[in-house]
A and B are shown apart, each in its own frame.
Chain A
Amino acid sequence: MSETAKLVELNEVSIARTARAEPVLDRFSLSIAEGETVVLLGERSSGKDSVLRLIERTLARENEVTGTIVYRGQPEKAVRSGKRPLRVAHLPSPSARPLSPDAKVSSQLVRVIARNLSVPRASARAEFKAALGRLAGAPPFETFENKPGEIDTVSLAWALLATAMAQTPELVLADHATGDLGPTPARALTRALTAEQKRLGFALLYAANQINVAGWLDGRIVVMRAGRVVEEGSYERLASPSAAHSYTMTMFRTVAKLSGEKPLRTIARGEALLRVQGLDLTAKAAKDERRAMREGITFELRRGAALALVGEEGSGRRALARAVLGLDRPPVGRVVLDAVDLSVLSETMIARLRRRMTFITGADDALDPRMTLWDTVDEPLRAHLKLSRDMVAGHRESALKRVGLASYHGSTPVSALPAFDKRRLQVARAMVSAPLLAVIDEPLRGLDAFAQALLRELLTDFRAQEGPAFLVITSDFSVAQALADEAMVLKDRHVIERGPIHEILRAPKEAATRALIDAVAPPAPTPLPKAEAEG
């Protein structure tokens, strides 16, 4: 690395905020060489986002910064005005909603390219098209002639990547660029980013909270905690138990691993709780109902059992879950919950039946932001069970203790909670409603490694203690294996494979299933150089 010219150097940089006692960054040093890949890996509030903003020069005014920043050997002086010393491209997460909802995606991104390259819009448009064309797997340009709300998150991620590449940057600052996507698109995007890096030779600084992404990028990983560097090194060294710092070891241990071994727990064999018969998710109205039912999705979920619906976005898993929850009425097929056919019930009766179900989702806006912490947990108790105030308080306190939110003041609004605490609050709310069936939709989406491990444990504990049946919707086989016993793999709104998860993992029959498994498999191990392994 010392042979290559340094692009950016941060020396002993500290960032303090008036509203915060602890520094955001504490004597942080980092150097990035030309063409190098550096991954900042850490939990939420570890300071990695501030490093990106500092280099990008978009830190908020409230931050007091000390230390030195050197761009290509030149100490930075005028940081508030003038031209940027490097061609820096920003690659944000599509889930951060970086675009205005009121204008076309293409026109917004073309404007960014035109401004940063100082070229006319027509040229920027051509650059954007060309960049899209070079990315294997990216949607066509026409997809982006829509507003952000009209296209899916994965497509938006491709558009953002193409925009960054079109700027022919010297340095790309990626801010959890694939963090909230499913493993398959995340891996495809990472591959495309790496291929472009080889072609254009830019340096990459990637802030990640997921270890898999750090492994795929194959660069130098800087583990951060509370604004400091814990340690740095290659993926292989950090993943090796003998070579890593205890914090890093704990972090790497949190990664769920796929296993083809038969689990110790037994698959529930009780009475059927949920029966889905001939559900056709492909057509709005089938002409031949009998035939459609024969070809539709049919499965049964027993009391206390756990089934994962595994598939990519658009595979039909969410439509299936909505039908099970009674939110949508399927045109063909039946959903029978606890021996009651949902299709013959009125809206009011379905609402009553849903009291026996709960829903846990990875959407951060699922809880009403206006409600307080206590109200959120109390609501199902008050609405369903008409309990006395003391009993409600007892159930609430017990649930909040179990999920680790008891230290919050009860009047804290949901809007003030971080994403992980919102998920835990959903679990607490689910616990107090003592459901027969829990529909769990991508519960770990967007969380860091530690938070994912904790939430997995919470959900496993919830199932063990309360015994609800789990219907898990995910694109991640590691989540499926952690929370369920059996899986149904969906593609194009059809079931392509089903069975016990360990058997599917051991011998997947379909290529699409194999692709889903490969997407979460850890990066291929490469042997460590002897010196590094010893050190």
Chain B
Amino acid sequence: MSVEALAPPRVAAMRLRAVLRALGWVGLAVTGVAVALSDFLAQQPAGRQGAGPVLVPPSPQFVFGTDLLGRDVLSETLHGLDVTVENALIATGIAILAGGLLGYAAARLPAVPRAVLRWIAGVLSAVPTLLLALLIIAMVSREFAALAAGLAAAPLAFVRAFDRARADEMSTHAEYARATGISPATLFRRDLIYEFRNNFLETAARALAAVAITLSTASFLGFASVPPHRDLGLMIAASRASYLTAWWTAAFPALALLLLILFARLAAGLDEGERP
């Protein structure tokens, strides 16, 4: 007789999650290679008009077709991906530094400044990231869209890091460490190292997905990317006039953006993908 299990297949779910995460990182790595080699892979320089006849559908000569101005959509998509990823990486770095790191440090402040900072970050994180980004762009310039997206995402990163740091500080093992004479500074350093080691990549991937959405939406609305350095959001916006008759002009840049965000969210473990 063989008795089979009745327990939920938790192991299988964990394995699936690990496989999806690995898939996300592989996808991001491939995207990184495509970005690094974009100038080599693209047959035309960025913004080159009249590379071919206008609105040619996908064909062996123009794999992704051409747009209203006769630009090669494949080359434009590769250049657009390059601009999007570059800006998103800058914004991710800012979100992590200005949000995550500060949030982690703020959790160790004395009670009053700690509560005030948490409250301010909480209020700011309740405002949609896109609106905050547009507000900052309006205050500075479209040139600094990446900075604006990073700062707009920072409150969410702050809140998340702050809450995690507080949980660490209130944990039994932190109290045990304090009881054995470990100073608050050593404890902070220890928590920060483990936070970086265990969560940095996941946090970065999650932030990358969030700021890529913010930047592309801002560009789509005309508030971020500046021609001739078109990012994927601006490319999709530019194809509005031709999309109904020539689907390829918007579909391929949109697909590239979708894959970038999907890979980043998979790499982050699909956990609250919107939150940096």
B2 in complex: contacting residue of A65, A367, A379, CB < 8 Å: A65
Which single residue of chain B is at the shortest CB-CB distance from A64?
Answer: B2
Q: Which residues of B contact A64 (CB under 8 A)?
A: 2
Interface segment, A142-150, A267-275, A352-360, A467-475? A352-360
- Asked whether, in the complex, the Cβ of B180 is within 8 Å of the Cβ of A433, the reply is yes
Q: Which partner residue on chain B sits nearest A321 by CB separation? A: B179
Partner of A354, one of B6, B172, B179, B194: B179
Instruction: Give chain B residues whose Cβ lies under 8 Å from the Cβ of A347.
Output: 184
Query: Which residues of B1-44 are within 8 A (CB) of A?
Result: 1-7, 9, 11
B146-180 near A? 1/0 per residue, CB < 8 Å: 00000000000000000000000001111111111
CB neighbors of A among B58-94 (8 A)? none
Contact A59 B7 (CB under 8 A): yes
B residues less than 8 Å from A356 (CB atoms): 181
Q: How far is the CA of A365 from the CA of B11 in the complex (A)?
A: 23
- CA distance in complex: A69, B9 (Å): 24
B182 near A61 with CB under 8 A, answer: no
Q: How far is the CA of A6 from the CA of B9 in the complex (A)?
A: 33
Min CB–CB distance B16 → chain A (angstroms): 15
Report the Cα distance A65→B7, complex, angstroms. Answer: 15
In the complex, which of the residues B5, B11, B184 contacts A63, with contact meaning CB atoms closer than 8 Å?
B5
Q: B48 near A: Cβ within 8 Å?
A: no
Within the assembled complex, what's the spacing in Å between the Cα atoms of A371 and B182?
Answer: 14
Contact A80 B4 (CB under 8 A): yes
Question: Is B190 an interface residue when CB atoms closer than 8 A count as contact?
Answer: yes
- Give chain B nearest CB distance to A68 CB in angstroms: 6
| Bound CA–CA A75/B182 (angstroms) | 59
- Asked if B181 and A65 sit within 8 Å, CB to CB, the answer is no
Within 8 A of A (CB), among B193-234: 194, 198
Q: Are B3 and A54 in contact (CB under 8 A)?
A: yes
A430 neighbours in B (Cβ, 8 Å):
180
Contact assessment for A69 and B1 in the assembled complex, using a CB-CB cutoff below 8 Å = yes
Query: A130: CB under 8 A from chain B?
Result: no
Q: How far is the CA of A455 from the CA of B40 in the complex (A)?
A: 66
User: What are the residues of chain B within 8 A of A80 when measuring CB–CB?
Assistant: 4, 6
Alpha-carbon distance A58/B6, docked complex (angstroms):
5
Partner of B182, one of A63, A67, A353, A379: A379
Chain A at the B interface: SS class: mixed
Residues of chain A within 8 A (CB-CB) of B172 are 363, 365-366
Contacts of A59 in B (CB 8 A): 3, 5-7
The minimal Cβ–Cβ distance linking A299 to chain B, given in whole angstroms, is 20
The answer for the CA separation of A66 and B194 in the assembled complex, in Å, is: 44
Closest-CB distance, B4 to chain A (whole angstroms): 5
Tell me, yes or no, whether B141 is within 8 Å of chain A by CB.
no
Q: What separation, in Å, do the CA atoms of A76 and B2 have in the docked complex? A: 10
Please report the C-alpha to C-alpha distance between residue A64 and residue B3 in the assembled complex, in whole angstroms: 7
C-alpha gap A496/B214 in the complex (Å): 66
* Interface residue? A370 (CB, 8 A): yes
The answer to whether B173 and A369 have CB atoms under 8 Å apart is yes
Question: For B186, what are the chain A residues with a Cβ–Cβ distance below 8 Å?
Answer: 379, 383
Contact partners of B179 in chain A: CB under 8 A: 325, 327, 354, 357, 359, 439
Q: Establish whether residues B181 and A354, one from each chain, have CB atoms under 8 Å apart when the complex forms.
A: yes
Knowing A58-B6, A367-B173 are in contact, say whether A429-B1 is a contact too (CB < 8 A).
no
Task: Tell me which residues across on chain A come within 8 A of B198, comparing CB atoms.
Answer: 370
Docked pose: A356 CA to B179 CA in angstroms? 10
Does any Cβ of B come within 8 Å of A331's Cβ? no
In the complex, whether A291 has a CB less than 8 A from a CB of chain B is no
Q: Which residue of B lies closest to A368 (CB)?
A: B173
Q: Is A351 an interface residue (CB 8 A)?
A: yes
Q: A60-B7, A370-B198 are in contact. Are A365 and B183 (CB under 8 A)?
A: no
CB-CB under 8 A for A359 and B176, given A354-B181, A383-B183, A383-B186 = yes
Q: What separation, in Å, do the CA atoms of A62 and B12 have in the docked complex? A: 11
Q: Are A348 and B183 in contact (CB under 8 A)?
A: yes
Q: Which of A395-454 contact B (CB under 8 A)?
A: 429-430, 433, 439
- Knowing that A57-B3, A380-B182, A429-B180 are A-B contacts, what are 9 other residue pairs whose CB atoms are under 8 Å apart, sorted by A's residue number? A59-B7, A61-B5, A65-B2, A354-B178, A358-B181, A363-B172, A379-B186, A383-B181, A439-B179
The 8 A-B residue pairs whose C-beta atoms are closest, nearest first, are A61-B5, A354-B181, A355-B181, A359-B179, A65-B3, A366-B176, A368-B173, A370-B194
Can you give 11 A-B contacts (C-beta < 8 A)?
Answer: A57-B3, A61-B4, A61-B7, A66-B1, A80-B6, A325-B179, A352-B181, A357-B180, A359-B176, A369-B173, A379-B182
A interface residues with partner B (beta carbon < 8 Å): 54, 57-69, 75-77, 79-80, 325, 327, 347-348, 351-359, 361, 363, 365-371, 379-380, 383-384, 429-430, 433, 439
